[in-house]
Structure formats: structure tokens, C-alpha cells
Structure 1
Amino acid sequence: MAWGAPGSGQGVDDWVRRLLDDDPSLTSITVFRSRKFGHEEVKELCSALENNTRLNDFTAISHSISVEDAHQFAGVLRTNNTLQSLSLGNSSFSNEALSALSGGLSGNRGLQKLDLHGKSIGASGVQALQEALVAGSGLDHLSLSGNSLGDEGAAAVAPAIPFIREVDLHDCEIGASGAMSLATALEHAKDAVEEETTNTMLQNGHMNGSTAMPMRKIRLQILRLDGNPLGFSGTSALKPLLSQLRELHLGRAGLRDEGAASLAAAIPSSSPLELLDINDNDIGPAGAEALADALDRGLMLRTLRMRGNRIGDEGAAALSRALAKGPMLQELDVGGNQMGLGAAELLGQAHKLRKLSLFASRLGDEGARLVADRLSAASFVQLMELELSGCSIGTDGMVRLFDVLESQAAPALEMLVIGGGNPALEEEGFQGRVEALRAARPELDVAWKAGDSSSVQQLGGAPEVDFNAELREA
């Protein structure tokens, strides 16, 4: 696909015709920058969309969307309940444009996802947005990531957050005050919903068996706050959210040991939290010890991501003790944590894990042999993915590991990532050993070079983005 300069290619006439015809195969449109998409094109396309019942997804992030254009899309949202996902405008999208677009959101029950990543919007824009959403919307996923919202913007949008299942606020310059606003909004929303429930029950009691209007529900389950300077105070402020969330993403949030300890202590044993992402937070052994204590309390946590910290072998030992007691944890990423042989000992207690990343641990051949011994000695019937990239493993260690795997240790293993930072990969004949392992274990994907699938991805990382298709048809 040639991107070209904005406005240099064809317009939207082909799409307009198909939208007006309600073409059932036209379910998704992505406007690449090579398309001409100015005011007239926006007007034509929006007119065609108003009564269309087929299009589910519309993305146009390579063009400027003016306030007038945003009003056009607001008109679509007032009449079209088929459109489920909308992403509009490049970085010039303004507060005024968001205010205009928000006018169509109130009462729209069809739109499920609104992506406003990197739109240069702030407090005034999100204020209008939250007012529209609180007034009534079916929105399931809201992304405001990459905008300089700050604490003021977080406070402005906060009242709407409890009523949306997934909210992405990563890299929004939100600090401790903004985190407090989010937590307070949840508490206020719960009180409001409880009052509405009581009033509805009373109303039903006087309506001779008929049912009153449906009540609002607290729906927040996933919150992404990566890349915000929360620190200890901001992390501590999130405590009320921990009894509500299923996923909390706090990577690059400046937690350090104090924040990790505060967070771990605040998670109630009854918390529904299943995924906690605290990558790149300068967490040391003390923070790891606190998290291990939290796991000991019987949390329902299934996934713990803490890559890029500094827990070392001492922190690994703490996590090992917790894993030995059989918590619910299924996925653990402790790559890049300055661990040595402690990483191998950690694996020895990870019998229930499905995915484990020991990326950039200083295992060497001795550690690799320990890993092999642990895999050979225990059942590991659930381990499906193991990452050992960047672990300084030489030929001796890798041969021992491969021998154990060829003998069908870790029978459920589907992905072994060993690419980069392992001297064995540079040795003559290594590719032959890989092929022998693949022949012995055809179900096992061994990713050891750039061309292999997943060899450059973190376990459980971001999904791949398809840049090849401008128009996806059913």
C-alpha cells in the first residue's frame, strides 16, 4: 500500500455508493493518508452513514478533522446505532472538535469503542465527553491515551469512567491528584447506583408489577495508567479501585518499592483482580517480597507482569516461595530483573504456570542446566510458553536444555523463545539442533531469530497491527 501525501489520491465516492446501497460486505473502513478526505468528503460520507446498517468500524487517523467535520460525525451517531468502533482525526483534533463530537454520543447505544489516542485534547474537551457519556451511552471501551490530560483532565473525565468496561489513560500526565479523582469517582458512582437501585425498587412497588427503566451499572474492569507519574501517593490513591478491577496496568508509573508495597497491601483477598502489569517501575527485592506476600494471601491474580525492574535473586526467591504454595498465578513475566541463578530456582516452583518469561536473566550455561534439570524433574504439564532470550546461554547449556525437551519434558510447551543474547545461537550447527528439536516436538515453536514468530515480542505483548489492508470486507 502506497501511503502518499494527504489528499493526493481518490476521494470516498466508491465507499459512499456502497454505504448508500447498504452493501453487506462493507463492514470496516480505514481511511489511509493517500485518500482525499477533506470537508466535502466528510460531508458525503457522513450523509451516507446516517442510515447505513452494515458498517461496524470506521478509522480515519491520518487526516485533520475540523470542528465542522466533528459535527457531521455527531449527526451520524445520533441516527446510526450500527457503528461500533470509531477513531477520528490526527494530532490536530482539538478540544472543540471533541466537544462537537460528544454531542452525538448521549443516547447512542451502538458505539462500543471510541479511540481518541494522541488527539491533543485536554480538560475542556473531556469535560464535554464525560457529560455526554454519563447522560447515557453504551460505550464499552474508551481510549484517551497519549493526551496531556494532567490531573485536571483526569478529574474532568472521572465521573464517566466507572460506567465504561475498559478505559485506556496511558501516558496522560496523570499524577497523584488525578488518581485520587478516579478513585473518588468510583465511590460516588457506587453510591449513586445504589440510590438509583433503591428508587427503582420503590417505583416498581407502586407500578402494579410493571418494570421501571433499566438502571446504570458499574462496569469498569480494565484500567490502563501506564506511563503516568503516579509514584507512591498516586498508587496508594487507587485503593478503592482494587475491589472493582480485573486488570490494572501501571507500567512506567514510578512505583519503586514503596509503591509496590502499598499496592500489594491494598489488594483485598476478595479482589477480582486477575492481571497486574507493573513493568519498568524500579521495583527491587523489597517490592517483590511485598508482592509475594500478597500472592500468599490467596489472591485470584492470574497474570503478573513485572519486566524491567531490579528484584534480583533475592526477589526471585521471595516469588519462588509464594509460587511453591500454589497460588492461582498462570502467567509471570520477570524478564530484565537482574536475576542470576535465582531465575532457574523460580522456574523450579512454577509448576502451575502457563507462561513464564526470564528474559535477560544472567543464567549462563550453569543456569540453563538448572532450568533443564527443573523441567526434567517436575511435570510442568501446564507450561505453554517459556522465554529465555538474552540469558547468556552457551552451547553446553542449550544442548542440555534441548535434550530434555526432546525427551518430552514440559509436554504442553508450545513456544520456546531463545532469540538474541545467547552465544549458543552463533555456534556452527545450532540451526541443526533447532531442527532436530522441532522434528521431535512438531507442536513446539522455537523462536530464535528475527524471522521467527514471537521472537521479538514479550509474552502476552501487544497484538500485531495490520497495515496492509485499507478496506476489510466481511
Structure 2
Amino acid sequence: MFPSPASDLFFHNFDVHQAILNLLSSEDALSLCTVVPILRFKAPHFVHRAISNKRVKKGIATKNVELICSSLNSSDITSLNATRLFRARIPFMTFINTLKPNQKVTMLCLDGNTIAAGGARAIAELLEVNSTIKYLELRANGIEPEAAAFLAEGLVRTKTLSFLDLTTNFLGPQGVASLSQALCLNTSIRSLVLSDVCMGADGAQALAQPLRQSKTLRVLKIRDNRIGPDGAIALARALETNSHLEVLDLQRNGIMNEGAVAIANALEVNQTLKNLNLRNNRLGWISAEAFGQTLKVNSTLRVLGLDDNMIKDQGVSILADGLRLNTALQKLDLNTSRMSSVGAMSLLSALDSNQTLRRLDLTGNSDIQRDIVPSVDRHSARVEIFLDRNLTAD
């Protein structure tokens, strides 16, 4: 995530500070409180206090964009946060054009600006000529397939962008397919976030192609996309040959047992994935059984999230059998897995043999009773075990 609002940009000369103060004291229709989302300072602190409680109701005026941009190119600013700042095409284009020759900005956040196809094309052109931007957030911009196609052109051309976040846009399978084709040619993207983009199974299947080919992609997050079992199976097949991806986040995708089993089987072959999140995917004990087998042979997975699924005691006990033989996993999340003390004790018993696990989350399982506390205490020096407060209260 982009740094939180309070200090993205650092101005080091009095002229720029004075220009901002002049803007704040003007009668512009915006009340010039838009300076906060786009600019952050080390000083003067009183500027923060003067505008921190105001809200942006209209887009920033073109004249103010021009003033900010003129200051930008003469500063040492490296991070820009322009969240929900632009409500019109001309100020946005002015801002993007200013960044084309800029060789200092490395992080750019344009969330919530509804950039549409024209804005996406401008960003693509920016990525082609700018050689410093490495981090780009475009969340909640109403980006549809046509705009996604323009962004895809930028991904083909960029040599420096390493992080792209397109969360909560309307890409659909077609938009994801355009981006996927570009990723097959891109050599710089290391982290890609496509959560809540209406991907569906077809989009996941399209994404499987660059997952098979990419030698640079390390992190892929595609939460809330309803990829279902078919989408998960396609990604699993790609994982069998992928040798670079380290983090895969598939939270809330309804992959069910069929999809989870396919991924678990792939991880018996894959030796690079380190972090897998399958939270809230309608999984049952069959999925846990598959991952129990995977844990016996996989030596690279460090973090496994199976929380908020219907694994229950039967699945947890089978998973524990795999944990006994595992030599790599460090964090296991089974929050809200519908287990009782029986399942919890099987995990704690596995810790007698397992020497690598460092964090175990058992919160949200209301059927776990206080009778497991002595076993928890016995392992607490080595493993951080999380329980509901009612079990740990004195």
C-alpha cells in the first residue's frame, strides 16, 4: 500500500512553501484543501493543521495543477499521492504530462480519479518515456476493458515499473486478458495486484499464461474475483512450471475443494512459492487432506492461510500429520476453521516433532476449550500461538 496521508512529498525551499500557503489563503472554489492528498511535507507543520479537517469536494483547478507541477520539477520529490484529486480531464493530463520528463518520482498513487480510457492512454505514454516510476497505484478508477488495453501497451513498453495495483476496477475477463498478454512481454513487473476486478474464471485462465512464462513476477494478489474451481485449476497448472512466484493471494474466490486440491498438488512440484493465502474459499476437510500431503514433501512454503473455511477437526487432524514432517512452514493460519479442542490438540501434538513453525493462529474457533492451555504454554517459548481471549484470560 502507498504510504499513508501525511508526508509523501518533501519540499526543501521557502518559495514552494510560500506558494502553497498562498494557495491555501486564496478563494479558489476548491478551498485548496486538495494540497493535502497530493502533497506531504516535513514542514511547515502548521499547514497540516490548517487543512487536515477539510474534504475535497471538487477536482483541483488547472491553474493549481500547473503551480504544483512547476514546483515539482524543481524539487527532490520522489513520492506523489494524488488520491481522488482530479475530476476533470485537463488537470489530469497536465499533471501526467509534467511527469514525463521527471527523473526523480519513483512512487505514484492515482487512486480514485476515474481516469477512463483517455487517462489510461496518457499513463501508458508516461510509462513509455519515464524511466524512474517503479510503483503505481490505480485503485478504484473505474477502469474498463478499453482503458485496460491502453495500460497494457504501457506495460509492454516500460522497463522500470515493478509494482502495479489495479484493485477495484471493472477490468473483466477481457481487460485481464489484455494485461496478461502484456505481462508475457514485460520484464520489470515484480508485484501485481488485481483484486476485485471482475476477473472470473476466464480472467484467471488468461492470467495463467504469463504466470507460466514470467521470470520476474514475484507477487500476485487477486482477491475477490470469483475465479471458482476452474480459475484455480488453471493457476495451479501454471504453478507446476513457474519457478519465480513467491506470494499468491487468492482470498475470497470460491475455489472450493476442487480448486484447492489442484493448488496443493501443484505445490508438491513447485519449489518457489513461499506465501499462499486461501482464506474464505469454501474449503472443507478434503482441501486440508491435500495440503497435509503437500506439507510432507514441500520444502519452500513459509506461510499458509486456510482461515475462515470449514476444515473442522477432521481436516485439521490430517493437516497436523503433514505438519509433523514439514521442515519449512513458519506461519499457519486456521482462524475460524470450525475446529474444537480435538483439532487444536492434534496441531499442538504435531509441534512436538515440527521444529520450524513460529506462528499458529487458532482464534475464532469457539469450540476450543481451556483444556488445551497447558499444551499451548508448553510450546509458547518457540511458537507464537493465538487463542481467543476467553481462553487466555486469568
Q: TM-score range by the shorter chain?
A: 0.7 to 0.9
Secondary structure of the 1:111 match is coil
1:224 is matched with which residue?
193
* Post-superposition CA distance 1:408-454 (Å, at most 9, x none): x26442x43324xxxxx447xx422xxxxxxxxxxxxxxxxxxxxxx
Structure 2 residue corresponding to 1:68, chosen from 90, 93, 118: 90
Pairs within 5 Å for 1:156-305: 172=171, 174-175=172-173, 177-187=174-184, 189=185, 218-243=187-212, 244=214, 245-269=217-241, 271-305=243-277
**Compared with structure 1, are the counterparts of its residues 266 and 60 closer, same or farther at alpha carbon in structure 2 (3 Å cutoff)?**
closer
Please tell me whether residue 392 in structure 1 is matched to residue 354 in structure 2: no
Mapped to 2, the partners of 1:255 and 1:25 lie a distance apart of 48
1:129 Cα offset (Å)? 4.7
Q: What SS class does the counterpart of residue 312 from structure 2 fall into? A: coil
**Shift of residue 361, structure 1, vs aligned partner:** 1.6
Q: 2:336 aligns with which of 328, 339, 360?
A: 360
Structure 1 residue 353, shift from structure 2 partner: 1.1
Matching residue's letter, 1:431: A
Q: In the aligned structure 2, how far is the partner of 1:133 from the partner of 1:252?
A: 23
The count of corresponding residues between Structure 1 and Structure 2 is: 353
Is the 1:344–1:363 contact (alpha carbons within 8 Å) kept by the matching residues of 2?
no
CA shift, 1:333, in A, is: 0.7
Tell me, yes or no, if structure 1 residue 47 matches structure 2 residue 70: yes
- Return the offset for 1:388: 0.8
The aligned amino acid for 1:345 is I
Alpha-carbon distance change, 338 to 38 in structure 1, aligned in 2, over 3 angstroms = same
Superposition pairs of residues 302-317 of structure 1, within 5 angstroms: 302-317=274-289
TM-score (norm 1): 0.63
Task: Tell me: CA distance 1:50–1:102, structure 2 relative to 1, closer, same or farther (3 Å).
Answer: farther
Please state how far the C-alpha of 1:321 moved relative to its aligned partner.
1.6
Q: Structure 1 67/98 Cα, relative in aligned 2: closer, same or farther at 3 Å?
A: farther
1:275-300 CA distance string (max 9 Å, x none): 22222233333333322322222432
In structure 2, do the counterparts of structure 1 residues 111 and 236 end up closer, same or farther at CA, with 3 Å as the change threshold?
closer
Q: Which residue of structure 2 aligns with residue 113 of structure 1?
A: 135
Return closer, same or farther for 1:258/1:386 CA change in 2, 3 Å cut-off.
Answer: same
- Counterpart of 1:346? 319
2:230, 2:90 → 1: CA distance?
Answer: 48
Runs (5+) with no aligned partner, structure 1: 149-171, 190-216, 420-424, 433-474
> Offset at 1:69?
1.6
User: Contact 1:183 / 1:241 at 8 angstroms: preserved in 2?
Assistant: yes
Render the CA deviation track for 1:76-103: whole Å, top value 9, x for unaligned. Answer: 3133211122224744444444545655
Q: How far off is 1:66 after superposition?
A: 2.7
CA displacement, residues 237-287 of structure 1 (integer Å, 9 cap, x when unaligned): 333222324333333333333433343234334532222222223333333
Larger radius of gyration: 1
RMSD: 3.7
CA deviations on 1:118-171 (whole Å, 9 max, x unpaired) are: 2234455455555556555633323333232xxxxxxxxxxxxxxxxxxxxxxx
Runs of 4+ in 1 over 6 A off after TM superposition: 23-26
Residues 246 and 273 in structure 1, CA contact (< 8 A), matched pair in contact too: yes
For the 8 Å contact 1:91–1:119, the answer to whether it is kept is yes
Q: Is the 8 A contact 2:254 2:281 kept in 1?
A: yes
Q: Percent identity?
A: 25
Distance 1:269 1:127 in 2: 27
